[in-house]
Structure 1
Amino acid sequence: MATVSDEAEALLTSEPLVAHLATCRDSRPHAAPIWYVYRDGLIEIATTGTKLENIRHNPAVALSIQKDEDGDPRWGMTVRGTADVVKSESERINRRLNEKYGADEDAWDENTGVRIEVGSVDYWIYD
């Protein structure tokens, strides 16, 4: 697990932003928006469909996150890591995501929990 700097952690936990999750299967990339929660070097997401199937076949993933204000970028980040499907923790992960993003407690209960061990983080702050 990579060490995530205090500044990068502050950005990851600053507010409910949408990340774009990149997965790959059969040498074909797939990117999709997703909610996330970061804690202690791990990112938790909950998903279904193509993203989940891709993770099951190839756990190497990346997330792109960017903070904008009125269309002007403030900071951006790329996180690379290894995903693990944790179906047994899906309910807990869904509730944490729903709380962070202001959704109903039981929303998206069909999603399966995934935990991503952070391997590397690159970030930049725009002046």
Structure 2
Amino acid sequence: MPILRLVLPYPPSILNPNNRSHWAKKNPVKVRYREHCRALALSMAPTFPPGKIPLSIVFYPPRNTGDLDNMLSSCKALFDGVSDAWGVNDKLFRPMTLDVGKADKANPRVEITIGETHQLR
């Protein structure tokens, strides 16, 4: 499988699972974020062989707060948008390796490498 890289915006804070906002307030943000991620992923238009799609995900949050499991949970709309764009079921996104890079207030993002797993350095 060829190695591809996709850089997507960091999820809005309202999508954090610890955010207690009402669902009616969260939903429009979630829908916009999912659609934005879908549009960015559509530009790649990769094709995949049947089976698992290995992903390496590195989070570059705006601040040095939060933990890895909440960062991943905040990205549900991201993965839904990417899987919509590529026409694959997101349950095929495995194995999945996760890491957190340095906080980047100027450019918070989620970098996804498709086709290999991240090697910690």
Scaled by the length of structure 1, the TM-score of the pair is: 0.26
- RCO higher in 1 or 2 (8 Å CA, sep ≥ 6)? 2
- Larger strand proportion, structure 1 or 2? 1
Structure (1 or 2) with the greater helix fraction: 2
